[in-house]
C-alpha cells in the first residue's frame, strides 16, 4: 500500500481511459481545480449514490472552477453502462491495474466483518490549479460526502 497524499504534495500524474476509451490525463485539467474521487465498483448502491450526488452538483462545482473525475478499477465498458444506466455526467475513468489508485493511496488494506482484505479505499483528492493536493480525504462515506466537500470548499 502506498502512502496517503497530504495537502501540498504534487498530485501524481495519470492518463486513463474514460467510459468511451478516450484517454484523459490529469494534465488536461491544468489551470482548473479537480476533484478526483476513487470508488470501489460501478453499478453498486453506494457508488451509484456517490456518482449521482456528484452529477447532481456538477454545475455548482463547475461554476466554482472544479472538474470532477471518478476513478475505479472497472473496465471502460462497465463504466459506459454505469454512465448510461444512471445518466451520469461525471467523467468516469478506468484503472483496472490499480496503478493510479495505488499512487493516490486509495488502494490498500480494508476490514469488513472482521476480515482483512485488499480493496479500494473510498477517497477524494482535491487538486489545485497547479497540480498540488489541496485536500486529501480517505475512508469517506458514499452518502452525504458531496455535500460535505461543497461545504468544506466554501462553495
Catalytic residues, by residue number, are 47
Q: How far apart are CA 33 and CA 98, in angstroms?
A: 23
- Alpha helices, H only, the chain: 45-56, 58-63, 76-86, 99-103, 145-152
Q: How far apart are CA 45 and CA 41, in angstroms?
A: 9
- Under DSSP, is residue 94 helix (H, G, I), strand (E, B) or coil? strand
Contacts of 93 (CB under 8 A, 6+ apart): 16, 17, 18, 24, 69, 70, 71, 72, 79, 100
* Pairing, β 23-25 against β 115-120: unpaired
Contacts of 64 (CB under 8 A, 6+ apart): 153, 155
Q: How far apart are CA 39 and CA 49, in angstroms?
A: 11
Amino acid at each position: 500500500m502506498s502512502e496517503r497524499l497530504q495537502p501540498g504534495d504534487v498530485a501524481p500524474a495519470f492518463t486513463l481511459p474514460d467510459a468511451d476509451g478516450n484517454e484523459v490525463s490529469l494534465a488536461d485539467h491544468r489551470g482548473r481545480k479537480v476533484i478526483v474521487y476513487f470508488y470501489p465498483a460501478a453499478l453498486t448502491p453506494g457508488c451509484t449514490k456517490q456518482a449521482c450526488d456528484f452529477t447532481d452538483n456538477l454545475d455548482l462545482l463547475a461554476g466554482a472552477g472544479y472538474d470532477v473525475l471518478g476513478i475505479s478499477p472497472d473496465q471502460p465498458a462497465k463504466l459506459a453502462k454505469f454512465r448510461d444506466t444512471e445518466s451520469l455526467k461525471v467523467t468516469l475513468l478506468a484503472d483496472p491495474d490499480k496503478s493510479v489508485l495505488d499512487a493516490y493511496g486509495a488502494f490498500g488494506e480494508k476490514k469488513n466483518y472482521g476480515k482483512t482484505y485488499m480493496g479500494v479505499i473510498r477517497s477524494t483528492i482535491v487538486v489545485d490549479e497547479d497540480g498540488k493536493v489541496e485536500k486529501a480525504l480517505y475512508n469517506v462515506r458514499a452518502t452525504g460526502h458531496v455535500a460535505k466537500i461543497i461545504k468544506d470548499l466554501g462553495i
